A = this chain, B = another copy of it.
Amino acid sequence: MNLLVTLDSKYIKPLKVMLFSLFMNNPDEDFHVYLIHSSIKDDEIADIERFVSTYGQKLFVIKIDDGYFQDAPVIFHYTKEMYYRLLAYKFLPKELDRILYLDPDVLVINPIRELYETELDGYLYAAAFHNVLAVKEINRIRLYPYKIDAYFNSGVLLMNLELQRKLVDEKAIYAFIEKNRTKLIMPDQDIINTLYSKQIKSLDEKLYNYDTRYYNYYKVITNNTCDMDFIMKNTVILHFCGKKKPWKKGYSGKFYALYKHYEKKAIPL
């Protein structure tokens, strides 16, 4: 399976925890992990390479030249790395037909193959939207006049690279950013949701992009079906969304112990 990650040095530790959880809960799978970056140092890359090979998996590193995005618009404090996810198809080997992008702030706690093999006929992406009412409304208003039925979360993104090569247009993305620069909050996610929302196949967030902040909410809206038992049996990806992160001091939350246990096993020292 092809896996895509894009990050800078600050996220190497969470990346390891994420990969470790993926490998442990998918022991019979072969993963090709593609890392797209521009600023990670050589010794850090070597460290990630060692880590991945410890588990018998393969890492492919794609370094983006600083000059590549020099004509692309930059918004606020967002770096050019936001383009890596949107334009990954340009940098990845031409023979790849699909890849699963994962944020480093997720844990993979169950087999991922079914997600990876999701039928993508005619879709550019498969993703989950977080159905919390407030989030939906805020984004609908914020991104008006673009029609948004659902605001997809781009932290777990299955990509149809074949179709992207045909349909996704670098220039259209730049033009969109120029036009909307004042109202974009999460630029890459906003772009996917406005320019390509009709071509995103919807995934069940409870299975593939479970927002760990909303345990009680998920339970209530499912009449207690989505309880801890359900999650551990069915949820594949836990997503530690939001500003508070489980690898930082002072975090608390329903999945804190689970995260820290994986962290300790991924990074023993």
Contact = CB atoms under 8 A, between A and B. Distances in A.
User: What size tier do the contact residues of chain A reach?
Assistant: 10 to 19
Interface in A21-69: none
Interface stretch (A153-161, A168-176, A181-189, A229-237): A229-237
Contacts of A83: none
A261 B109 contact: yes
A224 to B, nearest CB: 9
A257 interface: yes
Contacts of A256: 228, 254
Interface in A214-248: 227-229, 231-233
A206 to B, nearest CB: 15
Interface in A255-269: 255-258, 260-261, 263-264
Number of copies: 2
Nearest to A212: B257
A257 B260 contact: no
B258 A228 contact: no
A232 B258 CA distance: 9
Interface of A: 109, 227-229, 231-233, 249, 251, 254-258, 260-261, 263-264
Nearest to A109: B261
Contacts of A232: 257, 260-261, 263-264
A223 to B, nearest CB: 14
A250 B114 CA distance: 30
9 contacts: A109-B261, A227-B249, A228-B256, A228-B257, A231-B260, A232-B264, A233-B264, A254-B256, A257-B257
A10 to B, nearest CB: 18
Most B Cβ at <10 Å: residue of A233, A249, A251, A258: A258
Nearest to A110: B264
A248 to B, nearest CB: 10
Closest 7 CB pairs between A and B? A232-B260, A232-B264, A257-B258, A258-B258, A255-B257, A228-B260, A232-B261
